[in-house]
Structure 1
Amino acid sequence: MAARRSLTALTGVVVLCLVVTACEDHALGTIELRTGRETVETLSDPSVDGCHRFREGVAHVNNRTLNDIILYTTPDCTEPRGGQSVYLTTGTSDDAVRSTGLWRSFSVVH
């Protein structure tokens, strides 16, 4: 009986490790994008690698992933001269400011 419990526990640990390892390359959760009051797009489990371009400029972003993200007004995740990016922590949201323009891309912090 003890051997069966040990085998069950070991199997559970192996499965858990596989799940955690498989999820390392994605930010688990969703990012909700809006222009004005309507939801434009919802991104699920975005990759933690590279720059992610929005289909159109968005005015409001809800970060409901387990990772922080960085928002950019450029389509290629770069900061324009005199501009800045915005660091958006897990479970928070941000509205684009009129003077800086709409959000056009983001990258995931990992």
Structure 2
Amino acid sequence: MPSSRSTAALIGIALLGIALTACQDQASGQVVARSGVRLVETLSNPPIHGCHRFPEGVTHVENQTQSNLVLYTAPDCTVPAGGQSNYLDIGQSDQVASVTSPWLSFAFAPE
């Protein structure tokens, strides 16, 4: 019966891996923020909960994480009057049009 024990152990390890991934509190990957061509910030494995404020307004954001995020023109992840937000899919980037305000914050979209 060594074969069934090995199989059971492999299944147990696989289930543990799935459970740990489901309980993850961090987005795997990076969020890269730029102002024009200048790098402003790179966040590695940021927490998925809460609002994340950029140190200054950014015009370009690359979502290199495994989670979707929402960009905001307000520093507190809200949409003020005349402001906007933008949904950014996994692996996508966004360029702000020159007539809009820069992105000041982001939050991860609920899954």
Shorter-chain TM-score category? Answer: 0.7 to 0.9
Question: Given that residues 74 and 83 in structure 2 are in contact (C-alpha distance below 8 angstroms), is that contact kept between their aligned partners in structure 1?
Answer: no
Q: Which runs of 5+ in 1 are unaligned?
A: none
Distance apart, 1:98 and its partner CA: 2.4
**Matched letter for residue 9 of structure 2:** T
Could you tell me which amino acid in structure 1 is paired with residue 50 of structure 2? G
| Superposed CA offset, 1:14-33 (max 9, x none) | 4413531442x222111101
> Given residue 83 of structure 1, which amino acid in structure 2 is its aligned partner?
G
The corresponding residue for 2:79 is 79
For residue 63 of structure 1, give the secondary structure of its aligned residue in structure 2.
strand
- For residue 55 of structure 1, give the secondary structure of its aligned residue in structure 2: strand
Query: How far apart in 1 are the matches of 2:22 and 2:86?
Result: 29
Contact 2:30–2:43 (Cα < 8 Å) also in 1 = yes
Indicate the residue corresponding to 2:53 in structure 1.
53
Task: Give the alignment's TM-score, normalised by structure 2.
Answer: 0.85
Would you identify which runs of 4 or more consecutive aligned residues in structure 1 move more than 2 Å? none
1:38-58: per-residue Cα shift (whole Å, max 9, x none)? 222111112121111011111
Contact 2:83 2:101 in 1 (8 A): no
Deviation at 1:3, TM superposition (A): 4.2
> Could you tell me the percent identity over the aligned residues?
41
The residue that corresponds to 2:10 in the other structure is 9
Match of 2:75, SS? coil
Secondary structure in 1 matching 2:13: helix
Shift of 1:6: 3.1
**1:65 and 2:65 matched:** yes
The farther-off stretch of 70-79 and 94-103 is 94-103
CA root-mean-square deviation: 1.7
Aligned to 2:20: 19
